[in-house]
Chains A and B, each alone.
Chain A
């Protein structure tokens, strides 16, 4: 398939504002409260009034067994703000946690709405404090279908499900714990420059290697940190964004592919994930190439997922991520490919995907303050998810 000029949205879908709530551990605020804070900040950031917002979208929507995983759904936010919505959506079976942002691009391009606010909100930290991790995972009842073939064997966490392909990747390609450590340390270094980040004290390779093991090869620092917080962006149609204060960011392409069955263990090649299919569709829809990317915001729910996205997106060859990140210089804020500039989820907090889209906007607008990547980055890739979940977006200042 040859790319459409201007990408799948013909250049019509743009990001006009971004907002983030207070982010922290056990904040004791409700999910809705945090969500409203992020959403209204994004709207103000776009130079819009709440009444200008005629679309709204969010991941994952209602019905999630672990309530900490969803701070508020779309209808709650609509109701709280008294929105008059011409288009609305929540979705979980979509291109990862930024899937609803992709749907919003379609909605504005098709004229179903002019300005869509897209949010993701979590309050896992508070939920876990009150009820324990297991309750957040299982809701206390029958095993959900996706756990039927895992939980009986004590594979109770995504840490286990993703440790398996990580171990196989290390076995096949010589990736080492030091390579994973370089991703964790890079995240911590960037988090130290981000006042909103959860963990800001320096992390050394010795600290990393000495940390408590969770599920080999993942130690504590390979796993992201649950938090309370919400992030939001406003996606507008370009012709509706005329006169707004910010330079609109163009959504150049989106990755939405999933070519195999949605499982954590049956993919033909255990060293690849849905990420590879997502990336394939991202690139088939644009004339931009991996070498054009200035900064990368790549999901790090586990450090290994960043490894997968680096190669899935073609930023390095299959199996060669270890060499690519060796020592961490290339992915540092001052390196050739600044990576996870806010500290990612490993140190910044598990804002669950949308935090990466928020940070990409901040960087492209040059507002990263101490953590701003040098050289005025113009093209950012955002990619989220792991295992059978994946979504990606390419955005630019063009």
Chain B
């Protein structure tokens, strides 16, 4: 990990609370791939395209030969907002909400938080990389854990120089 990435990772403090997903058979890979450090995105084996959110059929070619595959984890910011309204106790603003486009397939986008960088410095075009934040839901069951894919400025890039 580069010095920039180390500093970025270090500057992020995980919040006390998040609203957690209840994974379905189709979304479980996405929410638990982080256990192995993998960003698992549905991919069509018919046409080869990734797609998101996951589902039982490829929306492009309608093949049902689909399933989760590891994406490379690199992405670029397509849009970003700094949320300044407290919506949930334990999740204090400000924080970024961003749409990132996967390097593997730019029209596959994830909504996420870009962290490890000052919120107001996140720009369209910023190259980012995934990392995962593990959460145990209120049930307390380890079997129900999820790994949220968050993003931070990509190693070896400087956010300010990288932004368009």
Asked if A167 and B79 make an inter-chain contact with CB atoms under 8 angstroms apart, the answer reads yes
Shortest beta-carbon distance, B134 to chain A, in Å?
12
Q: B22's closest neighbor in chain A, by CB?
A: A142
Query: Provided the pairs A167-B79, A268-B107, A270-B79 are in contact, do residues A157 and B99 lie with their beta carbons within 8 angstroms?
Result: no
Do the beta carbons of A148 and B87 come within 8 Å of each other?
A: no
Q: Is B91 touching A154 in the complex (CB atoms < 8 A)?
A: yes
Note all chain A residues with C-beta closer than 8 A to B14: none
Bound-state Cα–Cα, A142 to B109, Å: 24
Q: B78–A270 contact, CB under 8 A?
A: yes
Do residues A168 and B21 form an inter-chain contact, with CB atoms below 8 A?
no
Among B4-12, B65-73, B110-118, B154-162, the stretch that binds chain A is B110-118
Task: List, in ascending order, chain A residues with CB within 8 A of B99's CB.
Answer: 164, 168, 265, 270
Give, as a whole number of angstroms, the nearest-CB distance from B108 to chain A: 8
Asked whether, in the complex, the Cβ of A266 is within 8 Å of the Cβ of B97, the reply is no
**A155, CB-defined interface residue at 8 Å:** yes
Give the docked Cα–Cα distance between A163 and B53 (Å): 20
Complexed CA–CA distance, A159 and B97 (Å): 11
Q: Count CB-based A-B contacts (< 8 Å).
A: 111
Q: Is B83 an interface residue (CB 8 A)?
A: yes
Chain B residues, CB < 8 A from A265 = 99, 109-111
Q: A-facing mask of B47-86, CB < 8 A → 1, else 0?
A: 0000011000001000000000000000000111111110
Distance between A106 CB and nearest chain B CB, rounded to angstroms: 28
**Set of chain B residues within 8 Å of A150, measured between Cβ atoms:** 111
**Distance (whole angstroms) from the CB of B35 to the closest CB of chain A:** 16
**Smallest CB–CB gap between A81 and chain B, Å?**
39
**Closest A-chain residue to B100, C-beta based?**
A265
Task: State whether A167 touches B109 (Cβ < 8 A).
Answer: no
B18 contacts across to A, CB distance below 8 A: 152-154
A217 to B82 Cα, complex, angstroms: 8
Out of B20, B52, B79, B150, name the residue touching A168 (CB < 8 Å).
B79
Residues of B within 8 A of A151 (CB): 19, 21
Minimum C-beta distance from A162 to chain B (A): 9
* Chain A residue at smallest Cβ distance from B114: A153
Distance of A322 Cα from B21 Cα, bound (Å) = 38
Q: 1/0 contact trace for B142-158 toward A, CB 8 Å?
A: 00001010100000000
Q: Tell me the minimal C-beta distance from B88 to chain A in angstroms.
A: 6
B89 to chain A, nearest CB (A): 9
Tell whether A110 is near chain B: CB-to-CB under 8 Å.
no
B80–A167 touching, CB < 8 Å: yes
CA separation between A164 and B99, bound complex, in Å? Answer: 7
Residue of B nearest to A138 (CB): B19
Contact assessment for A154 and B97 in the assembled complex, using a CB-CB cutoff below 8 Å? yes
Q: Establish whether residues A159 and B111, one from each chain, have CB atoms under 8 Å apart when the complex forms.
A: no
**In the bound complex, what is the Cα–Cα distance between A158 and B111 (angstroms)?**
13
A240 at the interface (CB under 8 A from B): no
Say yes or no: A215-B111 contact (C-beta < 8 A), given A143-B21, A153-B97: no
Q: Does A214 contact B (CB under 8 A)?
A: yes
List the 10 shortest-distance A-B pairs measured between CB atoms, nearest first.
A163-B81, A168-B79, A156-B87, A164-B79, A151-B19, A213-B84, A155-B97, A215-B83, A214-B85, A216-B82
A sample of 10 cross-chain residue pairs with beta-carbon separation below 8 angstroms, ordered by A number, consists of A143-B20, A152-B146, A153-B112, A154-B83, A154-B91, A155-B111, A163-B97, A164-B99, A214-B85, A270-B79
